[in-house]
Amino acid sequence: MADLVPDWSLQRKGASDQSRHVQKIRQALKERLPDLVTEDSIMTSDGHRIIKVPIRSLEQYRFRFHPWQQDRVGQDQGQGQPGDVLGTVPKPGGPGGQGGQPGEMPGIDYFEAEVTIDDIAGLLFEELGLPYLQPKPLASIPHPTWRFKDIAQKGLMGNLDKRRSLKQNLLRNARQGTPTVGKWRDEDLRFKTWIDEPQPENNAVVIAMRDISGSMGDFKKQMARTFAFWMLKFLRTHYQSVDVVFLVHHTQAREVTEDEFFQLGESGGTKVSSVYQLCAEIIQERYPPHQWNIYPFHFSDGDNWSDADNRRTVEILEKLLPQVNVFGYGEIREGGYTSTLMSAFSRIQHPRFKMVTITAKADIYPALKAFFPREEGAHRG
């Protein structure tokens, strides 16, 4: 009798099932990202909140013959036709018991996968990046890089350069007529020593601007805050040298703290040029373009107080565009109207000026991808 060869593939069954389970969870999360990123409870989370995501179970199908009939092949002479869909899911309210109505048809098995906010962020950030990011000279806060690039005759034995020490010993002996290694002296030793070598870094500043005028109701305010929340989490997760400046405005603009940026309510009229002018002043005083990658983002409902201020805003924006990497404008609307500010901006033809429109929660995810596209070969600071 021939020796039985063991099936070693069974040894990997557990790992294979685990990998398949992880892939199912990732796929389910990716499909639900537009909804998950707008969960109201996420912005108040400490990052460890557990979210339960329903995932449809995937069964291993097999043929099962009738236990009281003879063996037969897997075919029949019924009423079915090629292409018919078997086992369709009943419609809501039908015999399957969906839509709050009782029924007799079986349902679809789901289980709830528990994931953290960081799990969701990891999937979201796979497709995001800072566009047009370029190496810049060191900013005002240096990050020294120590490198062993020099040689000294004195130093720690742990930093002994054996190759150079051997060479010095051999050269000294050769000059004395005995080209061999030996008779070591302290003057033969060479030690590696370090120097502070400044390196160009991807210094970047994001200037977040938010309209807090009276026309920014609860929905508009929530959308602006939600986008800003994921923007900050993305930047702080993947980039070490990113500054964030928070600006708010009604008829006047001012710089605020991060907490104030998220918590301030709405009141007063709207003068958009005020925040663009403040943005230009901050760039000039604190973030010179030759040292910083600059990314201003503004969120408003577009209800500016006059056409004259729209023109003033466009003038300031056109002066800013040559200095920044990307300038993003997100208009939050409730309804199908087009604002006068968006109409004024639509005449600007510049490759680094991006506009998005947000009319529903599902628009947050596409807006993030539009403002922070992941470039091939992009470097993360």
Closest by Cα among 299, 210, 200 to 258? 210
- Res 375: pLDDT: 66
Regarding the domain delimited by 204-371, which CATH topology (the fold level of the hierarchy) does it fall under? Rossmann fold (3.40.50)
Detail the DSSP E strand segments found in 176-241.
191-196, 204-211
Distances (CA, A) of 4 to 1, 9, 13, 301: 9, 15, 20, 74
Q: What is the pLDDT of residues 237-256, one digit of tens each?
A: 777 778 899 999 999 999 99
- CB atoms < 10 A from the CB of 121, how many? 19
Every domain range in the chain assigned CATH 3.40.50.410: 204-371
Mean pLDDT for the chain? Answer: 76
Q: What is the pLDDT of residues 332-362, one digit of tens each?
A: 988 767 788 999 999 999 988 999 999 888 8
Beta-ladder partners of 193: 150
Closest by Cα among 23, 19, 29, 20 to 52? 29
Report the alpha-carbon distance of residue 287 to residue 178 in Å, rounded: 63
- CB atoms < 10 A from the CB of 213, how many? 22
Report the alpha-carbon distance of residue 131 to residue 372 in Å, rounded: 6
Closest by Cα among 192, 345, 213 to 267? 213
pTM: 0.62
240-250 CB burial, b ≥16 within 10 A, e <16: ebbbbbbbbbb
Closest by Cα among 336, 335, 356 to 345? 356
Q: Do 64 and 121 meet the contact criterion of CB atoms below 8 Å apart?
A: no
pLDDT by residue for the chain (381 residues), tens only, comes to 455 556 555 556 556 666 666 676 667 666 766 666 666 655 555 545 555 655 555 454 555 666 666 555 555 566 666 666 655 444 444 455 555 556 555 555 555 666 666 777 777 777 788 777 777 765 544 455 556 667 777 777 878 888 888 888 888 888 888 888 888 888 888 888 766 555 545 678 999 999 999 888 888 888 888 888 888 888 777 777 788 999 999 999 999 999 899 888 777 889 999 999 999 999 999 999 988 989 999 999 988 988 999 999 999 999 999 999 999 999 998 876 778 899 999 999 998 899 999 988 888 888 888 888 876 544 444
